[in-house]
Structure 1
Amino acid sequence: MNNQLLELPELNVFNDLESEVRSYCRNFQTVFEKAKNAQLWDRNGNKYIDFFAGAGALNYGHNNEQIREKLIDYMMQDGITHSLDMATNAKETFLTQFQEVILKPRGWNHKVMFPGPTGTNAVEAALKIARKVTGRSTILSFTNAFHGMTLGSLAVTGNSFKREGAGIALTHSVFMPYDGYYGDDVDTLAYIKKLLDDPGSGVPIPAAVIVEALQGEGGLNSASRDWLKGLEQLCKERDILLILDDVQMGCGRTGPFFSFDDAGIEPDIICLSKSIGGFGLPMAITLLKPEIDVWEPGEHNGTFRGNNLGFIAATEALNYWKTKDFQLDVEIREKIIRKVLEDIPVKYPEFRGETRGRGLIQGFAFERQELAGRLSEIAFDHGLIMETSGPHSEVAKLMPPLTIELDTLKEGLKVLERSLEQLSAEER
């Protein structure tokens, strides 16, 4: 972004007092004041359509009325808000609801672990327990993976810019090619098997493999059903634990509750955060098969693992998943977005790229990488909030709340089309 823009008077407090590490406020340069479902308003009354949804933390929209009502009622009754990991009514209700709505229909009996309240905390817990159970230290992850910004999670994250921020060597991880990394003609699973089974490869048998079924920050790369099933089988045959990071893609972002539901696999460990908190509230869970749950009491903990407001909001949000209706609503919106994205190469052949993603996280990967960022800037000027993805920020990413009204979705897509027209005119 143009540094001169950062001198806007309304941003003076943030420029003067907030750390240089801030990022999103550099891209979306205004002061937001209120929000409702898929729309935000700044303090000047300007409206923005939200195709970002808190990086996936707001699947159920801003200020969801059903969830907000439950939160207000709970607080007005002096309900417990913080409890470390003590037993509370709010936690009991969430655990029961999660068991009935999510785990039982899938025939799963995973234990629910509450680490600290962010995605990277869920991943850190997964890596630690995998090492404890297997006695091995190495974790296998994939090209373009993103798993968090704390040191353990960062060690299995591929992005070089984020890794360099650690300031130290990131160890005990090995990277393998994700599905399609070398193109459609290369079987990356066969490559991985060869290295794991060859005593001369230098690649040790890992404690776990950690994978995203769809790489959100890595460029909206999607693993196929067969590849995920093959990866699960590879892990089983070699006594390797399979960790599925569903922090951003879970809670319906790709359509079904879990991004890997259509692959028919049952990961040993599953990481959830972001929208599991229901209302944008900090919350994370790490799901463990019972035989893996060998923690000693207090061996992994955190002050805010007992976010009872998160339990209240999450319990209410799970009501969306009691039937297939909500997933069907997401699929309707998915098709509307897909049509617009697939028209881009037809209307603007000069952009040369491809449509990626599924559900309500889709995007267009530009051959000229800088165009995605420029499109995001133009869209914001026209009242649409969207972000980029990929190692070169080459993918323009659309990620609205799952609850977005059809009229608002179509309005936002019209803004996108106007922004594409402007981008095309700039490139002539």
Structure 2
Amino acid sequence: MDTFERLESNVRGYCRDFPTTFATARGATLTDIHGDEFIDFFAGAGVLNYGHNPPALKQHLIDYLMNDGVVHALDMSTVAKKKFLETFDRLILKPRGFDYKMMFTGPTGTNAVEAALKLARKVTQRHNVVSFTNGFHGMTLGALALTGNSGKRAGAGVPLGNVSHMPYCDYLGSEADTIGALERFLEDSSSGMDLPAAFILETVQAEGGVNVATRTWLQQLAQLAAQYDVLLIVDDIQVGCGRTGPFFSFETYGLEPDIVCLSKSLSGYGLPMALTLMKPELDIFNPGEHNGTFRGHNPAFVTATAALEEFWSDDRLTRKVNTDAKRIRDVMLDLASECDAEVRGRGMITGMQFENAKAASQISKKAFQQGLIIETAGPKGEVLKALPPLTISDDELTRGLEIMAASVKEVMCKDFVEAG
């Protein structure tokens, strides 16, 4: 590890939690340079919903490159882009009755969020945006202003403004009416809140601690947005592309957001790709008004198209997610009953929140020593977050759950609880 310590910036993070050098990966298994294998319950923070190096996607990518397919084209028209646009419309938008224009932004999720913010402010001619406690939307300045975590916000070095932070769903307890509170701020001209251009939210706050919004809360928020002519932006970057079961995390709630942000697993292969969906009437950007050098990464279009054809031509993946999600949740519920923890999540993003804030990181460390990569989430890292590939095999899932359970039991022994 000396090379990384000597030459790479101190800002690197995940390598400190998982201190080895990885060499190969396939499915839900990573192998390091020593030949040690690790079950992956992290999946690139949601980038690898279809696993590492999925064979069908890999072959499409290899064929495209071997035929000298265009790799970089800014926002010029290419065969690869045309196929993606048509396939996304045919397999994702039309079956759900959605009508969106597609905007290719810079290569990552925060770029999709920045584009959404700029568009919402341009359309409404308002500057303020409402985001929600414990939300995470990216690390560039506009997206970071939306983010709740004080540690991440501190890295900006400048004031982060033009955002009002309001309580998310059950942030104040399940009995509190957080929608009512938000409405009171909007209707009272003396509340101090400028009428926002948009509300932006995650239906499941992944980095924020696997906090799940209820159907009622989401529907009431959408109604409030319509009532006050505020645009509704859903950040589906980590919990979209099937993570909760359906392709979009919000579709089973009857929502049709004005703007949707996608990235992470959109390319299907770990290639950088981000997309901002907007209702057609909102598409008022002038040519070149928002751009970026890497907003049209054609290899990502190729693998994204292959992923849509492979996994979204029918409902097999959704049914698998629902089945595997129950297995994960059942194991976590059994563990939680033994060690003072709370289980939360939807689909294949499931978390255990521990009373002792140090427990989750200790469990993650212990799991890594036994061959499982699993991360933590929440304001204090108090949530153990299971985020395996949606395509994980039965054997890999079984082995991963066994290691997770053993690690929880080992860490949550009497000595640890007393010492904590």
Q: 2:49 touches 2:243 (CA, 8 Å); kept in 1?
A: yes
Aligned with residue 94 of structure 2, among 99, 104, 129: 104
Q: Distance in 2 between matches of 1:107 and 1:418?
A: 45
The alpha carbon displacement at 1:345 in A equals: 2.7
Listed one character per residue, the Cα deviations across residues 143-182 of structure 1 (whole Å, up to 9, x for unaligned) are 0000000000000100000000000000100000000011
Q: 2:359 touches 2:412 (CA, 8 Å); kept in 1?
A: no
| Paired residue secondary structure (2:325) | helix
Is 1:60 the counterpart of 2:60? The answer is no
Is 1:427 the counterpart of 2:389? The answer is no
Name the structure 1 match of 2:406.
Answer: 418
Name the structure 2 match of 1:310.
Answer: 300
| Paired residue secondary structure (1:231) | helix
The residue type equivalent to 1:331 in the other structure is: N
Name the structure 2 match of 1:280.
Answer: 270
The alpha carbon displacement at 1:427 in A equals: 1.8
Name the structure 1 match of 2:207.
Answer: 217
Is 1:161 the counterpart of 2:148? The answer is no
The alpha carbon displacement at 1:424 in A equals: 2.5
State TM-score, norm by structure 2: 0.98
The alpha carbon displacement at 1:210 in A equals: 0.3
Aligned with residue 182 of structure 2, among 166, 173, 192: 192
The alpha carbon displacement at 1:352 in A equals: 1.5
| Paired residue secondary structure (2:412) | helix
| Paired residue secondary structure (1:327) | helix
Is 1:76 the counterpart of 2:60? The answer is no
The residue type equivalent to 1:67 in the other structure is: L
Aligned with residue 398 of structure 1, among 357, 377, 386: 386
Q: Distance in 2 between matches of 1:345 and 1:101?
A: 39
Is 1:125 the counterpart of 2:125? The answer is no
Matched ranges for 1:354-369 at <5 A: 354-369=342-357
Q: Which runs of 5+ in 2 are unaligned?
A: none
Name the structure 2 match of 1:40.
Answer: 30
Q: Distance in 2 between matches of 1:278 and 1:412?
A: 22
Name the structure 1 match of 2:141.
Answer: 151
The alpha carbon displacement at 1:108 in A equals: 1.5
Q: 2:273 touches 2:300 (CA, 8 Å); kept in 1?
A: yes
Name the structure 2 match of 1:387.
Answer: 375
The residue type equivalent to 2:322 in the other structure is: E
Q: 2:205 touches 2:212 (CA, 8 Å); kept in 1?
A: yes
Q: Distance in 1 between matches of 2:408 and 2:161?
A: 42
Name the structure 2 match of 1:7.
Answer: none
The alpha carbon displacement at 1:422 in A equals: 1.3
| Paired residue secondary structure (1:418) | helix
| Paired residue secondary structure (1:271) | strand
Aligned with residue 341 of structure 1, among 328, 332, 341: 332
Q: Distance in 2 between matches of 1:406 and 1:231?
A: 38
Q: Distance in 2 between matches of 1:385 and 1:358?
A: 20
Listed one character per residue, the Cα deviations across residues 52-83 of structure 1 (whole Å, up to 9, x for unaligned) are 00000000000000100100011111100110
Q: 2:336 touches 2:352 (CA, 8 Å); kept in 1?
A: no
The alpha carbon displacement at 1:391 in A equals: 0.6
Q: Distance in 2 between matches of 1:420 and 1:62?
A: 26
Q: CA RMSD in A?
A: 0.8
The alpha carbon displacement at 1:130 in A equals: 0.3
Q: Which runs of 5+ in 1 are unaligned?
A: 1-10
Name the structure 2 match of 1:49.
Answer: 39
Q: 2:336 touches 2:343 (CA, 8 Å); kept in 1?
A: no
The residue type equivalent to 1:328 in the other structure is: R
Q: Distance in 1 between matches of 2:159 and 2:153?
A: 9
The alpha carbon displacement at 1:421 in A equals: 2.1
Is 1:139 the counterpart of 2:126? The answer is no
| Paired residue secondary structure (1:356) | strand
Q: Distance in 2 between matches of 1:340 and 1:27?
A: 24
Listed one character per residue, the Cα deviations across residues 87-140 of structure 1 (whole Å, up to 9, x for unaligned) are 000000000000001111111110000000100000000000000000000000
| Paired residue secondary structure (1:41) | strand
Q: Distance in 2 between matches of 1:274 and 1:324?
A: 21
The alpha carbon displacement at 1:300 in A equals: 0.5
Name the structure 2 match of 1:262.
Answer: 252
The residue type equivalent to 2:409 in the other structure is: E
Q: Distance in 1 between matches of 2:12 and 2:177?
A: 40
How much identity, in percent, do the aligned residues show? 54
The residue type equivalent to 1:322 in the other structure is: S
Name the structure 2 match of 1:8.
Answer: none
| Paired residue secondary structure (2:45) | helix
Name the structure 1 match of 2:291.
Answer: 301
Q: Distance in 2 between matches of 1:25 and 1:184?
A: 37
Could you list the structure 1 runs, at least 4 aligned residues long, displaced by more than 4 angstroms after superposition: none
State TM-score, norm by structure 1: 0.96
Q: Distance in 2 between matches of 1:335 and 1:353?
A: 18
The residue type equivalent to 1:406 in the other structure is: D
Q: Distance in 1 between matches of 2:198 and 2:225?
A: 8
Q: Distance in 1 between matches of 2:298 and 2:336?
A: 48
